[in-house]
Structure 1
Amino acid sequence: MSQSVGKALQILGRLGDGPATLDELAGALGVHKTTVLRLLRTLADEHFVFRDSGHRYHLGARIHELSSRGLDQREVRSIAAPHLAAFNREHRHTTHLSELIGPEIVYIDKLESHDNVRMASRIGLRAPVHSTAAGKVLVADLPAAELAGVLASVSFAPATANTITDADAFHAELGRVRAQGWGHDREENERSVNCIAAPVRDASGRAVAAVSVSVPNIVLTDERLLELLPSLLAVTERVSRECGWRPIIDSSRGRPA
């Protein structure tokens, strides 16, 4: 393999763990900054990376485009597909399957609602973790050190008047998500749209994806949306079991811990 290609792939692999500065990338690769900068410029020209206003590099749109083309090969998407289809047929609302990439989620599957209201989301689209139910679910499951790295890259920009824009408030929200086992977006990412989400776990117990259902207020109130929680949690448990997850039963409560 060409040495330059190898170094470029190392850069992409490092950015897969989260954004990084030029100095951090040079240190991780053990090469001079000028070499890394040359590779970064080439990768940026092809949209494999981009640099934010804080001079930190992120994975770019080309990575997500290639990722979306390989979605049918993703095991969790294939496993989840029939379960999401059944859920969508029963409840008739927009249903997403998402994964975490750095400080954002990426929609890896979407089933449209059965009414005349369509949401702007699409497969391959990214959304912030701090304003989405799926994002809350996925980052709440991260180990403390990994969570700190992800949140260091979150701008907490307001998408609506309800968006959580304070890091401490978001940490408190994540505590609620961990305690209840699901996430809630109360018109935080889109005005007049509420969402609930729950995690899909693999054999290790790690949350590898999130299933969410999103509904505009004109179709269903937030209170009525919460009535779908039992069905949503049943779906994510079934998908998780097919992904190899086996819950630890809390004998004092007779349900998964």
Structure 2
Amino acid sequence: MSVKSAKRVLEIFELLTSYPNGLTIKEISGLLSSPQSSTFNVVKTLEDNGYLTSDIGKKYTLGAKLIEIGNSAMESMDLSKIGTPHLTELGQYVQETVFMAVLSDEELFYISKIDNNRSIRTTAQPGFRKPLYCTGLGKAFLAFMPADLRDSILERTELVPITEKTLTDRRMLEAQLETFYAQGYSIDDEENEEGLYCLAAPVFGAGNKLMAAVSVAGPKERMTSRKQDIIVRLKETTKRISAGLGHNDSR
């Protein structure tokens, strides 16, 4: 999609927020001073993908897909607002890099990163995506999400080796995830980046909804020498963030 088309999409969304009863393509075209033919193509593409909906009179209104996106955006804003002070405190204590990520389209999506003067170079940054099966954060999602969702995701996931230590056998991965669920945290032992060891734990919201995951990452030798201490602080942090999101912890 061109920049011009993307701008037109945004203009249509903003326009329709002021017309809850909807507008026809001709009306949209006139109000935006755009050619009717190109407006038709953009509107139909948005409708086909659930971002717009139309009634019997061919009047278009904002679609249900935008509600999902809006809810996700609100959740991310709440997570960032509630989580950042706790992530900062965790980072100051462990003196390693701290991340928080959410699940987006069956991938890991980083929303926060807390650096310190001992942070190591890593490819993970806010706004970046990574696979679930080979990251500590991703394995936290897989371990604690509903079993049917995990099965459907793994069915569609090709377990490609990222490093020599990446698990590519589904049965071994599922056994590992069971262990992670039982202990309340997950591990990435140089499976996504050589030299990087990661401990991660889930964040829940109201109704026991899996909202996010938090991780501490650093050089393997340094991380493993303080592993139990880091795990305790990590789980305390995710418990506090979860409480702030309305979760009643029972673990």
User: Structure 1-normalised TM-score?
Assistant: 0.69
* 1:242 alignment counterpart: 244
In the other structure, the counterpart of 1:232 is: 234
| Larger helix percent | 2
Partner of residue 91 from structure 1, selected from 91, 94, 97 = 94
Query: 1:6 maps to which residue?
Result: 47
Report whether the alignment pairs 1:172 with 2:175: yes
Cα distance in 2 between the residues matched to 1:73 and 1:104: 15
Query: Cα gap change, 1:72/1:104 in structure 2, threshold over 3 Å: closer, same or farther?
Result: closer
How has the CA–CA distance of structure 1 residues 110 and 9 changed in structure 2, closer, same or farther, with 3 Å as cutoff? same
Are the aligned partners of 2:97 and 2:120 in contact in 1 as well (CA < 8 Å)? no
Q: Structure 1 unaligned runs (5+)?
A: 12-65, 249-255
Check the 8 A contact 2:119/2:218 in 1, yes or no.
no
Aligned to 2:215: 212
Distance 1:227-1:152 versus aligned 2 partners, 3 A rule: same
Contact (CA 8 Å) 1:92, 1:113: kept in 2 or not? yes
Mapped contact 2:204–2:211 kept (Cα < 8 A): yes
| Cα separation, 2, equivalents of 1:217 and 1:173 | 19
> Which of 182, 186, 191 pairs up with 2:185?
182
* CA contact 2:201–2:238 (8 Å) conserved in 1: yes
CA contact (8 A) 1:215 1:225 kept: no
Return closer, same or farther for 1:208/1:73 CA change in 2, 3 Å cut-off: closer
Q: Is the 8 A contact 1:103 1:151 kept in 2?
A: no
CA deviations 1:22-50 (Å, max 9, x no partner) are xxxxxxxxxxxxxxxxxxxxxxxxxxxxx
Q: Percent identity?
A: 28
Normalising by structure 2, report the TM-score.
0.70
The residue matched to 1:244 in structure 2 has which SS? coil
- Figure out how many residues of one structure are paired with residues of the other and give that number: 192
| 1:161 equivalent in alignment to 2:164 | yes
Question: Which shifted more, 147-156 or 114-123?
Answer: 114-123
